[in-house]
Amino acid sequence: RQAGVAAAVALVVGAGGGYAFGSAGGSEPPTAMGGEGGWMAAPFPQDATTLEAPRSSVALEVAQTSYPMWGVRMVFSGEGLGTGAGVGTVWALDAAAGFDEAVAVRVADALGVPGEPRLSDGTWTVGPDDGSGPVVVLQGDDLGTVNFYDPTQDPWVCELVSTGEPFRGEAEPAEGAGELYPMSACEERDLGPAPGAEEARDRVVSLLGDLGLDEADLDVDVEVGATEAWTYVTVHRLVGGERSGLTWSASLTGSGVHSLYGTAAPVVDLGEYDLISPAQAVERMNDPRFGAGSAAPFAMMRSADEPLSLESSPMPTAEPAPVPERPRPTAPAPGSSIGWPVQQVTLTAATLRATVHHQPDGAALLVPSYELTGADGSMWTVLAVADTHLDLVSP
C-alpha cells in the first residue's frame, strides 16, 4: 500500500546545540518496517528535542537564506528591536532520575503492558521486542525518552510470508537463514473510528497524569486524521507557564493508544540568568560562535491564517520539465572581481522562548533563546543567555 503521510516540517538551528521546532502528522501512519528480530514504529518522532511548531502551516519551499552551512554567506542587521536586557530561568533535565526501572514499570502499568522490566544495551524494556505485542522502551539518553508501540492497535497488520522464490539476499543463504526470502504482506483491518478530538485529549491527559504529570502543566494540540482511523495528540510540557520544547506525542485508533513518545526526565530549576537584548541577539547572529555559521536550514512560514493540512502531498502526474542546459562559463578577464555573494537579512521581531540545549557532557538544559523573524519571513534562533554565564573554552 502507499501510506499517506503529511509533510513533517522541521526548523532546526544549532546555536550552541541542536534546537528544533517541528511537528508531524498524517492521514495514515507510515508503513511499519522491520526485519527478523526487530521492528520500527514509524509514528515515533525522530528526535525528542522537537519543539513546538508555530500554529500556522509551514511551506515546503525553503528560502535561500536557509542554507548558511552550504556556502551562503550571511550578514544580519536589526530594525526596530529592543535594547533592554533582562533575566530568564534556566532548567536542567535530571536524566538520572528519568532513567530508572521504576519509571519503566510505571509507564508500562499505565499503558497496560505486561512483562518484567529488563535492562539491555542502555535501555529498560517491558514487553516483547520482536513486534509481536505492545512494548515500552525507556532510553538512557539525556531526556529519559519513552517509546511505546502497540501493533495490536494498528489498522494495518503485516506478516512475514514466503514468496516461494530462491533466497535473493546473498550469493548463498547464511546459515539458519532458510531457503526462501521473507516478504512482508500487509492488510488493513477495521478497528472502528478513532476517538474524536475531545475524547482523545482527555484520554492522553489522563494517561500522562498516571505518569505523574499535572494537567495544569500541559498544553494540548489535537489533530484529527484525514481518515477516521487516526487521531493524533501532541502535549507540550509547560515550564514557567510557557511551552518548554518538551513534548509527548500519541497516536490513537479505534481500539486504543497505538503509540506514545515523550520525555520522562524531571525538570530542575537552575535559577535566573542574565540575558542579552534583542538588539544584541542580532550582533550574535553575526558572531560565528553563535550565529549563521552554525545554523542549519529553516523553512519559510506561510500565513498564520492558513490552516495546517494533514493531507498527503499529491504525487506528480506529469513528467518533469527538462532542465535547460547552462552555458559553459568562460574564463574571466584579468583583474575581474571575484564573486563572493553575501545575503543580507534584516531581523524585525524577536520572541523569547525556551529551547533544548545539549551540554558537551551529554546533559540537557532548557535555555532562553530568541526566535528572530526576518523581513523576508525567515526565522532564526540564537541563544539569549549573556556571555558571563557561558563557558566558551574549547573542550
CATH number, domain of 354, equals: 2.40.128.690
- Residue 376 near residue 64, CB atoms below 8 Å: no
CA distance linking residue 246 with residue 88, whole number of Å: 18
Same domain, 293 and 200: no
At 50 the pLDDT is: 34
Cβ atoms of residues 363 and 144 within 8 Å: no
Decide which of 148 and 327 is more confident.
148
Cell triple for residue 71? 556556502
Residue 263: CB partners within 8 Å, gap ≥ 6?
A: 48, 93, 98, 143, 144, 145, 146, 237, 246, 247, 248
| pLDDT tens per residue, range 54-93 | 333 333 333 333 344 455 788 999 999 999 999 999 999 9
Pair 283, 195 in one domain:
no
For 349, the domain range is 73-94+266-297+343-394
Instruction: Kindly report whether the global pTM for this prediction surpasses the value 0.85.
Output: no
Which residue would you say has higher pLDDT here, 20 or 120?
Answer: 120
Residues across the chain? 395
Which amino acid type is present at position 350? A
pLDDT surpassing 90 at residue 38: no
Please state, in angstroms and rounded to a whole number, the distance separating the CA atoms of residues 365 and 357.
Answer: 5
Residues 132 and 89 in one domain: no
Which of 157-171, 315-329, 334-348 has the highest average model confidence (pLDDT)?
334-348
- Beta carbons within 8 Å of 22's beta carbon, 6+ residues apart: 8, 9, 10, 11, 12, 50, 51, 53
Residue 108 and residue 237 share a domain: yes
Looking at the fold, whether 107 and 202 belong to one and the same domain comes out as: yes
Q: In the 8-state DSSP scheme, what is residue 11?
A: E
- The residue from 242, 265, 288 where one domain ends is 265
In this structure, the answer to whether residues 242 and 279 fall within a common structural domain is no
Looking at the fold, whether 260 and 383 belong to one and the same domain comes out as: no
Half-sphere exposure of 34 (CA within 13 A, CB side): 20
Residue 112 pLDDT exceeds 80: yes
SS3 370: strand
Helices 101-111 and 197-210 meet at what angle, rounded to 10? Answer: 150
* Number of domains making up the chain: 2
Residues 272 and 138 in one domain: no
Identify the pLDDT of residue 36: 32
Beta-carbon-side half-sphere exposure of residue 175 (alpha carbons within 13 Å): 0
Q: What is the pLDDT confidence band of residue 174, given thresholds at 50, 70 and 90?
A: low
Instruction: Indicate the burial class of 28 (C-beta count within 10 angstroms; 0-12, 13-18, 19 or more).
Output: buried
Average pLDDT, the chain: 76
pLDDT for position 395: 66
CB 64 within 8 A of CB 281: no
